[in-house]
Amino acid sequence: MSVKINIKKGDTVKVISGESKGKQGRVLRVNAETSRAVVEGANLVKKHTKPNAKSPQGGILEQEAPIHISNLMILDGKGNATRVGRKKDEKTGKSVRFSKKSGEVIN
């Protein structure tokens, strides 16, 4: 089942639910199949690692875990959390995302 995802890599989002509620960050990755995204600085988990070439010391690392898309809201240019709509651009005719709160186009 394919769901239309309005959040893209590089967007600034706010976490609206869960343990990281209220945190803001940039989207690092989006997985459309599982409807999840990885947000910078949100939903941090501890990962235990053995020593290897990448981390010769090993130990406990903190890294971001995926969050479900429904727990994220995109931020418009003014930093307000908003819903996302789609409309045709008058000049180019392409579909663009816009903020339902302010009406401005989201890049």
Residue at 107 is within a domain: no
Q: Three-state SS for 28?
A: strand
| Six token digits for residue 89 | 């651009």
Residue at 2 is within a domain: no
Mean pLDDT in residue range 30-53: 95
Here the CATH number for the domain that contains residue 87 is: 2.30.30.30
| Six token digits for residue 44 | 């941090």
Percent of the chain with pLDDT over 70: 98
Nearest residue to 86 via CA among 19, 8, 22, 1: 8
Q: How many whole angstroms separate alpha carbon 91 and alpha carbon 59?
A: 54
**Higher per-residue confidence, 69 vs 1:** 69
Residue at 27 is within a domain: yes
Q: What is the pLDDT of residue 2?
A: 65
Residue at 28 is within a domain: yes
Overall domain count for the chain: 1
Mean pLDDT in the chain? Answer: 92
Q: How many whole angstroms separate alpha carbon 39 and alpha carbon 98?
A: 21
Mean pLDDT in residue range 31-43: 95
Q: Three-state SS for 105?
A: strand
Residue at 97 is within a domain: yes
- Residue 32 belongs to domain spanning: 12-101
pLDDT at 44 over 60: yes
Q: What is the pLDDT of residue 1?
A: 55
Residue 47: which H helix or E strand, with range? strand 44-49
**Higher per-residue confidence, 54 vs 13:** 13
Q: What is the pLDDT of residues 64-105, one digit of tens each?
A: 999 999 999 999 888 899 999 999 988 888 999 999 998 889
Residue at 82 is within a domain: yes
